[in-house]
């Protein structure tokens, strides 16, 4: 039986621990700390300690009451510290660690207020410090009308585990040494705007309860905000980061604004949570932006950014819109989308049509099938067909690579089995589709392939038809016809090859695949024909005939390449002319019919006294044309929205 009394006691104990224990701990912590008085402050400023090799004013573990701005202690606090700083020629650090600062802290009143400009810096600054100041304010070295006043703090500032109950103002300042505030709590607004940090800034595990303002700030060394928590707006706009910036494992409850910021080195936002908007509009990334395993619950704005490296979205969780509109990507730029999860129906990636899809990169297929499916569906819903096709092409490349790995890793006992041959055929077909048209995404490549096939077969048909030397009355074309035909062939093939080199991802492999398809059979047939010779009737006439009823541009998709046998129709066909200057165009017209299924004249192969090898060559081209027209229509339907429906009807 369950003892009811014990259950009630346990429940009361848990309520006590939850509600009252933190209060008691805070009271106990306050009791441990003692209030900083004017006497203690004077003693600490005159009796400096050594911390990390530098003389330091130790105000740690005190309660510093600055709540009354007009109080005598408040004014004495700033004056006494600044006197100590000015009294010593060497930089003095300031230690607020484990302190409780009540009221507003004007951190920008601690230090040396100095005009910035050539020849106006106090002699107190060393040569190295002057160089850092000039680096922080390079434009101020020029002669200008108004010389600005900046607060310069020469030493380090330690605020580890410090509690700031009021606002903190450190704006318009220059900190020549490190600033650390790990595990600190800022209960009110903190203002670090227009502040330069010459050394490392460490705000790891800090809790910002109030608004945080680091706008127009400059970080020359690493800035660390790992495991921090921003409970209200975090403003980092118009800032510049020269070294690595660490925001990993950070919680942003409200807006995180990095508008017009410049990141020279890597910025790490991995495993962070963004409950509100994240804005990087018009920012520059010269190195990586890492968002690995981050949760992006609201809109992420990367509009008008400059990207020269990597945006890593691996395993990130996207719940809203990711906007890359008008972004500028250098050739080195890429976006790693491996493992990117679309966790809601509102999740969406927006970018410049035809551009954004080229930079989305997924390293492996296994485990990313859903990612590809979501990205392709995303761009198709936005009618960005080119981007969807680019991603599908990338997916098929990874699929072909995976098939190749499976083929090479099969044990020797399973080679040449039915399953192995089936996988091999799938791999060959997939690679052909990838090489010959980027899996239906590159219409320029498809047209180049067709034009190369037309030119090759045209010159072969012209050669077989117009050059018959081994007969009693040899048929040999005139010199101008030879020059015209060969010149046109070389020009067409050269232009097509250049286009392939410019548009194909792997141009030499593509050209090799085209050569394997087009050259072996025609070359062998042509060689055998000339080796055997030709001995049949009608050797003085062309093998090709045309329908003399009409001359018009027609769609001949259902036309076969052989003249019909019915006498009534045969009377309409006449041998093509050999004695015209434009006669060589007939061979291009015939190849155009066979490949593109379009033609100006209905030219066919005659059905009497034709060597079987010539018929074989014609049928071979016609079969290639059928496969080509299917590939062409499939590519057009994938690259032009709505065309697939038109083709269907």
Q: Distance (Å, rounded) from C-alpha 378 to C-alpha 345? A: 10
Amino acid 579: pLDDT: 82
**CB within 8 Å of 416: residues ≥ 6 apart:** none
CA distances to 8, 331, 348, 391, 525 from 307, rounded to whole Å, are: 61, 9, 20, 20, 55
Instruction: Summarize the confidence of residues 215-231 as an average pLDDT.
Output: 96
Q: Distance (Å, rounded) from C-alpha 605 to C-alpha 385? A: 41
Q: Distance (Å, rounded) from C-alpha 415 to C-alpha 462? A: 45
Residue 384 has pLDDT above 70, yes or no: yes
CA distances to 60, 163, 206, 394 from 56, rounded to whole Å, are: 11, 20, 23, 59
Amino acid 439: pLDDT: 92
Q: pLDDT band at residue 534, thresholds of 50, 70 and 90?
A: confident
- Smallest CA-to-CA distance from 438 within 361, 371, 386 is with 386
Residue 518 has pLDDT above 60, yes or no: yes
Q: pLDDT band at residue 118, thresholds of 50, 70 and 90?
A: low
**374 φ, ψ to 5°?**
-65, -40
Amino acid 1: pLDDT: 41
Q: Say if residues 30 and 68 touch (Cβ distance below 8 Å).
A: no
- Smallest CA-to-CA distance from 102 within 36, 55, 154 is with 36
Q: Distance (Å, rounded) from C-alpha 41 to C-alpha 621? A: 97
**What is the DSSP pairing of strand 317-318 with strand 256-257?**
unpaired
**C-alpha gyration radius of the chain:** 39
How many percent of the chain have pLDDT more than 90?
67
Per DSSP, the residues of 192-244 read -TT-EESS-EE-TT-EE-S-EE-TT-EESS-EE-TT-EE-S-EE-TT-EESS-
H-run or E-run covering 75? helix 72-87
Amino acid 638: pLDDT: 83
| CA diameter of the chain | 128
513 burial (CB, 10 Å; 0-12 / 13-18 / 19+) is middle
- Looking at the DSSP bridge assignments, the partners of residue 219 are 197, 241
Instruction: Summarize the confidence of residues 366-377 as an average pLDDT.
Output: 94
Q: Distance (Å, rounded) from C-alpha 263 to C-alpha 247? A: 13
Amino acid 137: pLDDT: 80
Q: Say if residues 431 and 627 touch (Cβ distance below 8 Å).
A: no
Looking at mean pLDDT, say which of 4-13, 31-40, 331-340 comes out highest: 331-340
Instruction: Summarize the confidence of residues 567-595 as an average pLDDT.
Output: 87
**CB within 8 Å of 210: residues ≥ 6 apart:** 167, 186, 187, 188, 189, 190, 231, 232
| pTM, two decimal places | 0.82
Tell me the pLDDT tens digit for each residue of 261-295. Answer: 999 999 999 999 999 999 999 999 999 999 999 99
- Looking at the DSSP bridge assignments, the partners of residue 168 are 105, 190
Amino acid 515: pLDDT: 94
Amino acid 642: pLDDT: 62
- Smallest CA-to-CA distance from 193 within 255, 128, 153, 237 is with 237
Amino acid 126: pLDDT: 82
**CB within 8 Å of 223: residues ≥ 6 apart:** 197, 200, 201, 203, 241, 243, 244, 245, 246
H-run or E-run covering 103? strand 100-103
Q: Which of 164-168, 577-581, 639-643 has the lowest mean pLDDT?
A: 639-643
CA distances to 577, 593, 618 from 572, rounded to whole Å, are: 15, 18, 21
Q: Say if residues 224 and 203 touch (Cβ distance below 8 Å).
A: yes
Coil/strand/helix, residue 327: coil
Tokens coding 74: 């408040």
**CB within 8 Å of 44: residues ≥ 6 apart:** 57, 58, 59
Tell me the pLDDT tens digit for each residue of 554-570. Answer: 787 778 888 887 777 77
What one-character DSSP code corresponds to residue 414? G
**Residue ranges with strand state E in 62-186:** 62-66, 93-95, 100-103, 105-106, 112-115, 149-153, 157-158, 163-164, 168-169, 173-175, 179-180, 185-186
CB atoms within 10 A of CB 424: 16
What one-character DSSP code corresponds to residue 155? S
Tell me the pLDDT tens digit for each residue of 63-90. Answer: 999 998 888 899 899 999 999 988 888 8
Tell me the pLDDT tens digit for each residue of 15-33. Answer: 443 444 343 344 444 446 7
- Smallest CA-to-CA distance from 296 within 275, 279, 270, 271 is with 275
Q: Say if residues 192 and 169 touch (Cβ distance below 8 Å).
A: no
Q: Which of 416-430, 494-508, 559-573 has the lowest mean pLDDT?
A: 559-573
Residue 3 has pLDDT above 60, yes or no: no
Upper half-sphere CA count for residue 112 (Cβ side, 13 Å): 25
CA distances to 36, 79, 92, 183 from 83, rounded to whole Å, are: 18, 6, 11, 29
Q: Which of 3-12, 35-44, 234-243 has the lowest mean pLDDT?
A: 3-12
**Residue showing tokens 């792997």:** 506
Mean pLDDT of the chain: 88
Tokens coding 642: 């709505």
Looking at mean pLDDT, say which of 139-153, 567-581, 623-637 comes out highest: 623-637
Q: Distance (Å, rounded) from C-alpha 541 to C-alpha 526? A: 19
Coil/strand/helix, residue 173: strand
Q: Say if residues 292 and 316 touch (Cβ distance below 8 Å).
A: yes
**141 φ, ψ to 5°?**
-75, -15
Q: Say if residues 63 and 37 touch (Cβ distance below 8 Å).
A: no
Q: pLDDT band at residue 10, thresholds of 50, 70 and 90?
A: very low
CA distances to 164, 461, 530, 582, 611 from 468, rounded to whole Å, are: 100, 12, 8, 20, 13
CA 393, distance to chain mean position in Å, is 16
Q: Distance (Å, rounded) from C-alpha 247 to C-alpha 159? A: 19
Instruction: Summarize the confidence of residues 322-342 as an average pLDDT.
Output: 95
CA distances to 105, 169, 216, 389, 646 from 188, rounded to whole Å, are: 11, 10, 20, 51, 64
> What does the angle CA 39 – CA 80 – CA 44 come to, to the nearest 5 degrees?
50
**CB within 8 Å of 565: residues ≥ 6 apart:** 607
Amino acid 605: pLDDT: 92
**Residue showing tokens 């009294």:** 87
Q: Distance (Å, rounded) from C-alpha 248 to C-alpha 267? A: 9
Tell me the pLDDT tens digit for each residue of 156-195. Answer: 999 999 999 999 999 999 999 999 999 999 999 999 999 9
Q: Say if residues 213 and 192 touch (Cβ distance below 8 Å).
A: yes
Tell me the pLDDT tens digit for each residue of 435-489. Answer: 999 998 899 999 999 999 999 999 999 999 999 887 778 888 989 999 999 999 9
Amino acid 13: pLDDT: 43
């Amino acid at each position: 039986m369950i003892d009811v009394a014990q259950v009630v006691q346990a429940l009361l104990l848990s309520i006590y621990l939850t509600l009252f224990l933190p209060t008691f701990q805070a009271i106990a912590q306050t009791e441990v700390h003692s209030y900083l008085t004017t006497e203690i402050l004077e003693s600490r400023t005159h009796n400096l300690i050594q911390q990390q090799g530098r003389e330091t004013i130790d105000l740690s573990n005190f309660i510093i009451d600055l709540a009354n701005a007009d109080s005598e202690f408040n004014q004495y606090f700033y004056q006494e510290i600044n006197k100590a700083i000015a009294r010593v020629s060497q930089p003095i650090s300031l230690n607020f660690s484990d302190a409780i600062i009540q009221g507003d802290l004007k951190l920008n009143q601690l230090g040396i207020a100095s005009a910035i400009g050539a020849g106006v810096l106090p002699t107190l600054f060393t040569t190295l410090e002057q160089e850092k100041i000039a680096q922080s304010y390079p434009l101020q070295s020029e002669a200008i009308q108004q010389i600005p006043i900046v607060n310069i703090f020469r030493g380090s500032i330690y605020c580890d585990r410090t509690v700031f109950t009021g606002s903190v103002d450190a704006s318009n300042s220059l900190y020549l040494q490190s600033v650390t505030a790990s595990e600190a709590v800022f209960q009110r607004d903190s203002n670090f705007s227009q502040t330069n940090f010459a050394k490392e800034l460490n705000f790891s595990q800090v809790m910002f309860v109030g608004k945080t303002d680091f706008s127009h700030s400059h970080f020359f060394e690493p800035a660390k905000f790992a495991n921090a928590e921003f409970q209200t707006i975090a403003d980092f706009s118009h800032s510049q980061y020269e070294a690595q910036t660490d925001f990993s494992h950070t919680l942003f409850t409200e807006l995180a604004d990095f508008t017009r910021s410049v990141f020279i080195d890597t910025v790490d936002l991995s495993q962070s949570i963004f409950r509100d908007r994240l804005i990087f509009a018009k920012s520059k990334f010269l190195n990586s932006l890492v968002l690995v395993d981050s949760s992006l619950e609201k809109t992420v704005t990367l509009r008008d950014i400059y990207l020269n490296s990597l945006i890593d979205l691996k395993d990130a969780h996207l719940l809203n819109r990711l906007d890359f509109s008008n972004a500028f990507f250098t050739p080195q730029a890429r976006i790693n989308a491996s493992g990117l999860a679309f966790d809601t129906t509102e999740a969406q990636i927006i970018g410049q049509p035809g551009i954004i899809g080229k930079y989305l990169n997924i390293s492996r297929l296994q485990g990313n099938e859903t990612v590809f499916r979501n990205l392709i569906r995303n761009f198709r819903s936005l009618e960005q067909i080119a981007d969807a096709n680019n991603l599908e092409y990338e997916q098929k490349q990874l699929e072909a690579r995976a098939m190749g790995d499976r083929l090479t890793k099969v044990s020797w006992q399973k080679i040449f089995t039915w399953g192995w041959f089936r996988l091999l055929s799938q791999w060959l077909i997939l690679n052909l589709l990838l090489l010959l048209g980027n899996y239906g995404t590159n219409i320029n490549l498809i047209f180049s392939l067709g034009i190369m096939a037309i030119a090759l077969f045209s010159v072969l048909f012209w050669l077989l038809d117009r050059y018959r030397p081994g007969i009693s009355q040899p048929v040999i074309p005139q010199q101008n016809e030879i020059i015209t035909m060969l010149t046109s062939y070389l020009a067409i093939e050269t232009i097509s090859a250049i286009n392939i080199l410019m548009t194909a991802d792997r141009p030499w492999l593509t050209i090799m695949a085209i050569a394997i398809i087009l050259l072996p059979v025609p070359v062998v047939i042509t060689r055998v024909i000339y080796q055997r010779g030709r001995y049949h009737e009608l050797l003085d006439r062309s093998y090709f005939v045309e329908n003399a009823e009409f001359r018009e541009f027609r769609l001949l998709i259902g036309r076969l390449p052989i003249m019909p046998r019915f006498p009534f129709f045969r009377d309409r066909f006449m041998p093509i002319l050999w004695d015209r200057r434009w006669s060589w165009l007939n061979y291009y017209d015939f190849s155009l019919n066979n490949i593109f299924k379009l033609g100006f004249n209905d030219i066919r192969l005659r059905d009497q006294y034709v060597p079987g090898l010539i018929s074989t060559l014609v049928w071979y081209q016609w079969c290639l044309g059928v496969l080509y027209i299917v590939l062409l229509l499939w590519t057009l339907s994938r690259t032009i929205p709505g065309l697939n429906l038109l083709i269907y009807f």
